[in-house]
Each structure stands twice: as C-alpha cells, then as structure tokens.
Amino acid sequence: MRFLGVGNAISKRLGSSCAVLLQQGKPLLLIDIGPDTLSRFGLALAAQPEAVFITHAHLDHIADLEPWFYQLAFAESKWPRLYVPASLVPILQRRVADFPNWVAEGGRNFWDVFQLIPVSESFWHAGLRFDVFAVRHHAPNAAFGLALPGSFVYSGDTRPIPDQLAAYPRETIFHDVSVRSNPSHTGLADLDNYHAAIRDRLWLYHYGDDDARALAGWRVVNAGTDVPLAAPDPAATSAGMLAWTA
Ligand SMILES: [Zn+2]
Ligand SMILES: [Zn+2]
C-alpha cells in the first residue's frame, strides 16, 4: 500500500489522505480522491487511476472528482471505475454530480465519464473481493472502511471501531488519527482503548502538519512509502474461489 497523502482536511503540507493498493508495482485500486490526488498519482505512478473506492463525501476525499471529470470529458479514455457505497450515491449526486451543465456547450453529464459501481458489504475488483463496512464519522452510513481479508484494513475517517476491527485478526490496519479526540476522528487517547493485538498492527494517518512530535512512539504512515502487505485470504481471491468450487 502506498499513501499519496497522509494529512487531515486542513493539512497543507502532507496532502489529502489517500492510498493506492499496488500489485507488483502496478496501481490496482486508489482509495479516495481529494484535492491534488490526481497529480500526486500521476507523479508517483506515471498513470491515471483506473479504479477508485470512495470512503465518504468530505471534500478532502472527493474534491478531485471535478477536475477528473474535465480531464475525462475531453479525452477518449477508458471510463474509470468508481466503487461507491450505495448510501453515498445520493450524497455524491447532490454534492458533485448535480452541478448544472457540466460543459458550457452542453451534451455532457457528470456520470457519462465514470463507471459508477454502487457497493454494499463487498465487491470484486481485479480478482479480489474487498469488504466494505460502516465506520463512525459524522452520521450513520455516511463513511465507510475497506478491507482485503488477510491483507489490510483501511479505516477511513472514523472514531474508534473495535467492533469492526474484531473481524480482522491479522491484517495490517491503516487507521485515522487525530492528536486530540473529537466527535469525528480517533484521538491518540482513544487508541489506548484498543487492545494490544490491534494496536500492534496500526499504521496511523490523517494527521496534521504539526503533529509529528505528538505522534512519536506510534507507527505513522508517510506519503510515498510502500507498506508491504500479506497476501489476501484465498476466499478473497477469484483464484481461491475457483479452487473451492472445482
Ligand atoms: Zn478526511
Ligand atoms: Zn471526513
């Protein structure tokens, strides 16, 4: 997993939090697309994303959908896949897609250039079955985490979620952090409530520009650094499923 940005919504230096799942160095799935994510993706990987999972509709996680629309609307490129939790679709519709007359000369709708794939508890992408679960960020069913069983859990922006993490006993956990506890994010003091078997697997992200000292002693993600992951469970791969049904 490579993070392109690890900052919070007001971080100027660290970039908006987002990460790319890489397979043998090739981008497989981008998680979130906040401001400047597309150019960071292009610089890091010399490519444009082919698939994105959206955790929630705060602008630090979706703002680049607008410039991406314009890039795609005037290029004959393949439609990227947008995996969006079903309850977020109406929110994205209101927050982004409903803009009137996307192109001055008319003839274009926001969704024309994307392959929108609403998802519930899980979805398949590139032969892998990803889990999707609700987290605790502002309102029920307004923000979601992502997991690849056996491999990783990505919390998205959230308060602590011990109930959800209990389902993932060995995965690497990428987790929201904020120095101070607040109603939207997980404070450092909140992390003490996770038992050691979870704390030992945490990689923290979504912190502030000046938080390095406060986070000393915790394992934090830095943008541009690859975090190696274990292979997914066979049941979360199409190859594993074929072996099971053969
Ligand atoms: Zn955020
Ligand atoms: Zn948020």
CATH number at 191 reads 3.60.15.10
Place 244 in a pLDDT band, splitting at 50, 70 and 90. Answer: low
What is 174-228 written as a DSSP string?
EEE-BSS--SSS-BHHHHTTS-HHHHTTEEEESB-TT-TTTTTTS-B--TT-B--
Question: Of the ligands numbered here, which is closest to the C-alpha atom of 178?
Answer: 1
Overall number of domains in the chain: 1
Residue type, 182: N
Backbone angles phi, psi at 44, to 5 degrees: -75, -35
**pLDDT tens profile 154-194:** 999 999 999 999 999 999 999 999 999 999 999 999 999 89
Residue 33 CA to ligand 2 centre (angstroms): 12
| Full residue range of the structural domain in which residue 93 is found | 2-245
Average pLDDT (101-124) is: 96
Average pLDDT over the chain, rounded to an integer: 95
- What's residue 245's pLDDT? 65
- What's residue 133's pLDDT? 98
Residue 122 CA to ligand 1 centre (angstroms): 22
Q: Reduce the DSSP state of residue 145 to 3 states and report it.
A: strand
Residue 9 CA to ligand 1 centre (angstroms): 5
Contacts of 239 (CB under 8 A, 6+ apart): 127
Residue 184 CA to ligand 2 centre (angstroms): 7
Distance CA 235, CA 149 (A): 8
105 has pLDDT over 80: yes
The residue behind tokens 């990987």 is: 45
**Are 175 and 164 in contact, with CB atoms under 8 Å apart?**
no
131 has pLDDT over 80: yes
The residues with which 28 forms a beta bridge, in sequence order, are none
Residue 240 CA to ligand 2 centre (angstroms): 35
- The pTM of this model reads 0.96
246 has pLDDT over 60: no
Residue 170 CA to ligand 1 centre (angstroms): 25
Residue 244 CA to ligand 1 centre (angstroms): 39
Residue 58 CA to ligand 2 centre (angstroms): 5
Residue 6 CA to ligand 2 centre (angstroms): 13
Residue 205 CA to ligand 1 centre (angstroms): 10
**Are 148 and 132 in contact, with CB atoms under 8 Å apart?**
no
Question: Of the ligands numbered here, which is closest to the C-alpha atom of 10?
Answer: 1
Question: Of the ligands numbered here, which is closest to the C-alpha atom of 142?
Answer: 2
Residue 20 CA to ligand 2 centre (angstroms): 18
Question: Of the ligands numbered here, which is closest to the C-alpha atom of 143?
Answer: 2
- What's residue 243's pLDDT? 74
Residue 243 CA to ligand 1 centre (angstroms): 39
**Are 18 and 33 in contact, with CB atoms under 8 Å apart?**
yes
